[in-house]
């Protein structure tokens, strides 16, 4: 496991967590925003009219309406990224991370407009008569880069697990266990069966489920979030100030939070923003390709609404809930996961500024001459309590407090071996107070509102709906990629593995799952951004042609004067 973790961190450092990645992602959105003259603003109202079906034609080719395609794509993006992903970004980067999530969404509205338009333009019909499309078809049919199309399709299949399957199942199971005490394996098993029943029905059942779940889950979540924001109204303004104040300086240490540099907050905010709204990743174009539309640009305009609703609305609500409630700087009783735990030599405090800075640098792996060293040796434990004075236990990027060493759930007495900062005795588990992140952090924040402890049930219900719908949508993305690679005969095998993976992820390590998801996102995003940048002139010409044709067909409308 240690070797796997080291390898994954190395790969992530070359891709999603590399310094160039957020600049490339934001830069692409910024470029197209200027190049196409701010389409996310100019075409915003027109997009809503298209979704309502105002310009629909009888006989348009496709398997879904504009709204169904939007709902399917939204169900793929509105998931644990909105509940757990925002919490993870704030946990890592502080309030500043939320600002960069907003920036990713604003420019991502244009990026998604471009990628969806181009994918819709080059869609095809499979052997069963279904409309199929996505960046892989653009890469092959327009760029004549079959090898890149195959790479992207393979990345999509892998990412369907890393983005849509593993983290969704893991967060559902974790949230249900913490709220209702139901074991993760039971939740994973029940939902895996339900997932199988949905995805076996294919695209038609998937879009029907999506259009039913998305509006319901949005209403439930918004009501719950507003109940917390209203209860903490005096802190909301202060939270907004912190988001903008820290955006270009980084977030200062507060409570158990060790602080975050500008670079760290920027990278985490952009990275989690991408995980949330998927603008630039190339996933949404696969769903929109199935929409009944005679004009690729019209479907691209519909996709503008996704980052707006997903990040600028829902993620903002989550961020304000977490920041205004103050839970992101507090330590809570939690079970320690080995992936997030390290025992270091010496006594370190998060309340001493100099030591706090050393701790942050150590956890961020940003120092060559790190004064903090992993402990190796033996620890003396009596009735669950550490008797060795010259060590510090770190968990969830914080100094852990009131730590209990347990064996079979009971306080342990004896000697515990530690090597390289990790406990080598497999029967020993730890429980204590530390920062929390992901779904657990959001769930705790929801208990600080008008609903009190009952607020966590909003998270549990919302989590199940959000994450399950995301898993359903991503199974469709994986379906389309498998169809491109191996034909429709490969689908049943893929769906079986997908359902099994959903169960296995329910009992996996949370942080490891998030790391895998970050890597698979980058594998899709990089070739997709390259593809749309190569076709920038064609995109501009396609938009201009759309407005010329629109003016002829709807001469009394004024939208063509945009």
Domains of the chain: 51-330+444-556 (1.20.1740.10), 333-434 (no CATH)
Q: Which residue has the higher pLDDT, 430 or 128?
A: 430
- pLDDT beyond 80 at 396: yes
The tens digit of pLDDT for each residue in 336-395 reads: 988 789 999 999 999 888 998 889 888 877 666 788 999 999 999 999 999 877 899 999
Report the alpha-carbon angle 403-409-415, nearest 5: 60
Give dist(CA 201, CA 481) in Å, integer. Answer: 17
Residue 412 tokens read as 């342990």
HEC profile for 33-83? HHHCCCHHHHCHHHHHHHHCCCCCCCCCCCCECHHHHHHHHHHHHCCHHHH
Which range is least confidently modeled, 106-115, 258-267, 387-396, 492-501?
258-267
> Percentage of the chain surpassing pLDDT 70?
90
What is the predicted pLDDT for the residue at 257? 87
Residue 339 tokens read as 């992936």
Q: CA dist 59 to 62, 63, 68, 516, Å? A: 9, 11, 17, 42
The tens digit of pLDDT for each residue in 27-73 reads: 999 999 999 999 999 999 998 888 887 777 766 665 566 676 677 66
- pLDDT beyond 80 at 252: yes
Residue 216 tokens read as 């319901």
Dump strand ranges (E) for 396-499.
398-399, 401-407, 410-411, 414-419, 422-423, 428-434
DSSP 558: S
- What does the mean pLDDT of the chain come to? 85
The tens digit of pLDDT for each residue in 275-302 reads: 667 778 888 898 888 777 778 998 899 8
Give dist(CA 525, CA 152) in Å, integer. Answer: 9
Cα distance between the two ends of the chain? 55
Query: Residues 543, 549, 550, 552: what is their CA dihedral angle, to the nearest 10 degrees?
Result: 150
Q: Which residue has the higher pLDDT, 383 or 77?
A: 383
Q: Are 63 and 290 in contact (CB under 8 A)?
A: yes
Where do we find the tokens 């020993």? 428
Q: CA dist 316 to 97, 307, 488, Å? A: 11, 12, 40
Of the candidates 123, 459, 492, the residue with the CA atom closest to the CA atom of residue 322: 459
23-27, 179-183, 221-225, 409-413: which is most confident: 409-413
Helices 66-77, 296-303: inter-axial angle, 10-degree rounding = 40
Give dist(CA 277, CA 521) in Å, integer. Answer: 12
The tens digit of pLDDT for each residue in 402-421 reads: 999 999 889 999 999 999 99
Label residue 272 by pLDDT band (50, 70, 90).
Answer: low
Residue 160 tokens read as 């369907």
What is the predicted pLDDT for the residue at 59? 60
Q: Are 251 and 348 in contact (CB under 8 A)?
A: no
Neighbours of 380 (CB within 10 A): 13
Number of residues that this document lists for the chain: 562
Average pLDDT over residues 245-256: 87
Of the candidates 402, 382, 393, the residue with the CA atom closest to the CA atom of residue 422: 393
pTM of the model: 0.81
Residue 309 tokens read as 């609703």
- pLDDT beyond 70 at 210: no
18-27, 127-136, 368-377, 394-403: which is most confident: 394-403
Which range is least confidently modeled, 160-174, 300-314, 539-553?
160-174
Of the candidates 357, 392, 387, the residue with the CA atom closest to the CA atom of residue 374: 392
| Greatest Cα pair distance in the chain | 84
Please state the φ and ψ torsions of residue 356, each to the nearest 5 degrees.
-60, -40
Q: Are 236 and 247 in contact (CB under 8 A)?
A: no
What is the predicted pLDDT for the residue at 543? 94
């Amino acid at each position: 496991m240690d070797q796997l973790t080291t390898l994954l961190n190395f790969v992530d450092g070359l891709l999603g967590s590399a310094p160039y990645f957020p600049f490339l992602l934001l830069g692409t959105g910024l470029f197209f925003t200027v190049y196409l003259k701010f389409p996310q603003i100019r075409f915003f109202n027109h997009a809503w009219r298209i979704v309502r079906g105002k310009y629909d034609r009888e006989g348009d080719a496709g398997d879904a309406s504009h709204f169904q395609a939007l709902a399917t794509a939204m169900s793929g993006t509105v998931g644990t990224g909105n509940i757990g992903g925002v919490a993870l970004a704030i946990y890592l980067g502080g309030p500043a991370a939320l600002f960069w999530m907003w920036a990713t969404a604003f420019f991502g509205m244009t990026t998604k407009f471009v990628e969806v338009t181009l994918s819709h333009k080059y869609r095809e019909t499979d052997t069963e008569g279904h409309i199929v499309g996505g960046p892989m078809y653009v890469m092959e049919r327009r760029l004549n880069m079959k090898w890149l199309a195959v790479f992207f399709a393979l990345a999509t299949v892998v990412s369907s697990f890393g983005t849509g399957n593993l983290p969704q199942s893991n967060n559902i199971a974790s949230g249900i266990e913490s709220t209702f005490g139901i074991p993760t394996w039971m939740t994973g098993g029940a939902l895996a069966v339900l997932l199988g029943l949905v995805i076996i029905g294919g695209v038609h059942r998937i879009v029907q489920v999506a259009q039913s779940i998305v509006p319901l889950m949005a209403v439930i979540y918004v009501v719950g979030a507003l109940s917390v924001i209203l209860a903490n109204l005096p802190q909301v303004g202060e939270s907004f100030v912190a988001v903008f104040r820290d955006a270009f300086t980084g977030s200062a240490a507060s409570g158990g939070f060790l602080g975050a540099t500008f670079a760290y907050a920027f990278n985490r905010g952009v990275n989690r923003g991408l995980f949330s709204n998927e603008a630039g990743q190339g996933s949404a174009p696969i769903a929109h390709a199935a929409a009944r539309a005679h004009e690729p640009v019209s479907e691209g305009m519909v996709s503008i609404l996704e980052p707006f609703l997903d990040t600028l609305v829902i993620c903002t609500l989550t961020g304000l809930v977490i920041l205004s409630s103050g839970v992101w700087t507090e330590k809570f009783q939690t079970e320690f996961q080995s992936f997030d735990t390290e025992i270091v030599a010496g006594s370190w405090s998060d309340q001493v500024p100099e030591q706090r800075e050393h701790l942050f640098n150590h956890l961020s792996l940003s120092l060559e001459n790190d004064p903090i060293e992993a402990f190796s040796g033996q620890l003396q434990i009596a009735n669950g309590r550490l008797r060795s004075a010259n060590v510090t236990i770190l968990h969830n990027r914080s100094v852990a407090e009131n730590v209990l060493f347990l064996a079979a759930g009971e306080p342990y007495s004896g000697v515990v071996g530690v090597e390289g900062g990790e406990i080598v005795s497999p029967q020993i588990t730890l429980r204590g107070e530390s920062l929390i992140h992901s779904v657990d952090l959001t769930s705790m924040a929801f208990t600080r509102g008008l609903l009190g402890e009952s607020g966590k049930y909003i998270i549990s219900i919302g989590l199940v709906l959000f994450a399950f719908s995301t898993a359903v949508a991503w199974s469709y993305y994986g379906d389309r990629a498998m169809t491109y690679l191996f034909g429709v005969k490969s689908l049943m095998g893929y769906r079986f593995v997908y359902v099994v993976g959903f169960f296995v992820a329910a009992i996996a390590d949370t942080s490891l799952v998030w790391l895998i998801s970050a890597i698979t996102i980058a594998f899709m995003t990089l070739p997709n951004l390259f593809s749309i940048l190569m076709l920038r002139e064609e995109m501009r010409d396609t938009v201009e042609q759309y407005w010329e044709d629109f003016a002829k067909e709807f001469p009394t409308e004024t939208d063509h004067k945009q």
